[in-house]
Amino acid sequence: MKKLAVVMSVSSSATALKVMAIIKNKLGQTKRTRVMFTDNGKLTFVSGVAQKSVREVSQLDKYKACDVLILPVYGDDTQVQPSLAEIKMYLNTALGFSIYICAVPDKEDADMLETAETVVDIVKSNLGI
**Mean pLDDT computed over every residue of the chain:** 85
Q: What is the pTM of this model?
A: 0.84
- Say if residue 102's pLDDT is above 80: yes
Give strand ranges (E) for the chain: 4-10, 35-38, 41-45, 68-74, 98-103
The structural domains of the chain, with segments of one domain joined by +, span 2-127
Tens digits of residue pLDDT in 36-93: 777 778 888 887 777 777 888 898 999 898 999 998 888 666 667 788 888 899 999 9
Cα 31 to Cα 19, 35, 52, 76, 93, distances in angstroms: 12, 11, 21, 28, 31
Q: What is the pLDDT of residue 55?
A: 82
**What does DSSP assign to residue 64?**
T
- Say if residue 121's pLDDT is above 70: yes
- Say if residue 97's pLDDT is above 90: yes
CA 122/CA 65 separation, integer angstroms = 19
